[in-house]
């Protein structure tokens, strides 16, 4: 997180990431090797048969749901950073962030840094960027933890159907609930703590602690406010992605577990994306397949569904995001002057008016 905050406050004049064809080729080659293994390796006949016999209409539905998930991310971005941002600018920045997260091996830091750079270039104060970057990351990530709590406790109590050991369901739920509780208490701990070091290092650490604490408070207040863009965007971002994976299972002939087990496997499996690989290729795929397999889904079914779903989860944000980034660089040039001018048309400025966090 400290890496993200440094990028946020640095005020750099050039983009911290480059979303070009070279990165797209790199991840394409990586994905092609994975697909090649599916095609060539012995013992994977069932997987290949399932992929070859998939229902085209349901595959198209999975793709449409992934587009919807991307658009929900855009809505959450605008709701968190400022409702005065234009939808066009919000789309370009948020989609560029998603492309950076797919194409750059930075575990999500690249997308946050790129968004901070774009917002700084059009005049948003560094302090607001820092705290709202933290809030945006926490809001979009906490939905996964809440899903683990919901699915785990639902399965453990019998409110949700699914054949899974009680401990297997409840332990992850308790860990996720503990993480959310610790996060809520973190601002008090950060206020008490004192940064070590001297000079610029100490000031940077103190500033980072300040942004982190303020960002956590902002995330809690934004959720509590019930703003449709924030709450609906964050939930939609994950829910539509879950439905895309469910559509891919259906396209391959079914075999998905019951709702509670499905959500639990999805939320736990996505933790593999924390591995710093482009788009989480290998980490997320392996995590999802392993999670579904451990919770009772046949490996061949889980592998086929996950690989098909990941083609859209990676490809759609990459293609849309690269196009958005190309336009974003021109949009920033167009909007810097009106934002910087003291009496220009303030309706174009993304700098927020005073408003509740």
Domain total for the chain?
1
pLDDT at 280: 53
- Check whether 334 has a pLDDT greater than 70: no
Annotate the chain with three-state secondary structure.
Answer: CHHHHHHHHCCCCCCCCCCCHHHHHHHHHHHHHHHHHHHHCCCCHHHHHHHHCCCHHHHHHHHHHHHHHHHHHHHHHHHHHCCCCCHHHHHHHHHHHHHHHHHCCCCCHHHHHHHHHHHHHCCCCHHHHHHHHHHHHHHHHHHHHHHHHHHHHHHHHCCCCCCCCHHHHHHHHHHHHHHHHHHHHHHHHHHHCCCCCCHHHHHHHHHHHHHHHHHHHHHHHHHHHCCHHHHHHHHHHHHHHHHHHHHHHHHCCCCCCCHHHHHHHHHHHHHHHHCCCHHHCCHHHHHHHHHHHHCCCCHHHHHHHHHHHHHHHHHHHHHHHHHHHHHHHHHHHHHHHHHHCCCCCHHHCCCCCCCCC
| The pLDDT value given to residue 299 | 86
Residue 269 is part of which domain span? 19-338
Please report whether residue 317 resides in a domain: yes
For residue 38, the model assigns a pLDDT of: 47
Would you say residue 305 lies in a domain?
yes
Mean pLDDT of 191-220: 72
Residue 237 within any structural domain of the chain:
yes
351 within some domain: no
pLDDT score for 332: 79
The pLDDT assigned to 344 comes to 38
Q: Of all residues in the chain, what percent carry a pLDDT higher than 70?
A: 70
Rounded distance, CA 227 to CA 235, Å? 12
Q: What is the pLDDT of residue 252?
A: 87
Quick check: 10 pLDDT over 90? no
3 has pLDDT over 80:
no
What's the mean pLDDT when you consider all of the chain? 78
At residue 106, the pLDDT reads 57
Q: Higher model confidence: residue 160 or residue 50? A: 160
pLDDT at residue 12 tops 70: no
pLDDT above 60 for 279 = no
4 confidence band (pLDDT: 50, 70, 90): very low
pLDDT at 110: 76
Would you place residue 28 in the very low, low, confident or very high pLDDT band (cuts 50, 70, 90)? Answer: low
Per-residue model confidence (pLDDT) at position 42: 41
pLDDT tens for 111-133 read 888 888 899 888 889 889 989 99
Contact assessment for residue 202 and residue 196, using Cβ atoms and an 8 Å cutoff:
yes
In the structure, what pLDDT confidence band is assigned to residue 245 with cuts at 50, 70 and 90?
very high
Question: Can you give the pLDDT at residue 348?
Answer: 37
Specify the pTM.
0.78
331 falls within a domain: yes
158 lies in a domain? Answer: yes
Residue 159 belongs to a domain: yes
Higher pLDDT, 82 or 188: 82
The reported pLDDT for the residue numbered 281 is: 57
Specify if 270 maps to a domain. Answer: yes
């Amino acid at each position: 997180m400290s890496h993200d905050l440094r990028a946020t406050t640095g005020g750099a004049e050039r983009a911290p990431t480059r979303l070009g064809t070279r990165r797209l080729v790199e991840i394409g080659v990586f994905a092609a090797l994975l697909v090649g293994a599916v095609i060539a390796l012995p013992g994977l006949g069932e997987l290949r048969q399932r992929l070859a016999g998939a229902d085209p209409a349901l595959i198209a539905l999975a793709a449409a749901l992934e587009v919807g998930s991307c658009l929900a991310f855009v809505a959450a971005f605008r709701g968190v950073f400022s409702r005065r941002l234009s939808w066009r600018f919000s789309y370009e920045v948020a989609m560029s962030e998603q492309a950076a997260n797919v194409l750059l091996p930075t575990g999500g830091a690249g997308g946050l840094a790129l968004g901070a750079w774009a917002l700084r270039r059009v005049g948003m104060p560094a302090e607001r960027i820092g705290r709202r970057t933290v809030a945006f990351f926490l809001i979009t990530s906490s939905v996964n933890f809440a899903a683990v709590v919901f699915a785990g406790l639902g399965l453990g109590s019998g409110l949700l159907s699914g054949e899974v050991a009680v401990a297997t369901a409840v332990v992850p739920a308790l860990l996720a609930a503990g993480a959310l509780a610790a996060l809520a208490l973190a601002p008090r701990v950060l206020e008490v703590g004192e940064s070590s070091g001297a000079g610029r290092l100490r000031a940077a650490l103190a500033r980072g602690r300040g942004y982190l604490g303020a960002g956590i408070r902002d995330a809690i207040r934004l959720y509590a406010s019930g703003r449709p863009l924030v709450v609906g965007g964050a939930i939609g971002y994950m829910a539509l992605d879950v439905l895309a994976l469910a559509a891919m299972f259906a396209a391959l002939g079914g075999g998905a577990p019951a709702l509670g087990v499905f959500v639990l496997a999805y939320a736990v499996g996505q933790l593999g994306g924390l591995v710093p690989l482009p788009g989480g290729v290998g980490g997320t795929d392996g995590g999802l397949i392993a999670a579904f397999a451990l919770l009772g889904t046949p490996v061949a079914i889980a592998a086929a569904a996950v690989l098909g779903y990941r083609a859209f989860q990676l490809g759609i944000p990459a293609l849309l995001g690269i196009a958005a980034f190309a336009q974003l660089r021109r949009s920033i040039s167009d909007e810097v002057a009106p934002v910087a001018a003291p009496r220009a048309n303030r309706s174009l400025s993304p700098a927020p008016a005073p408003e509740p966090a």
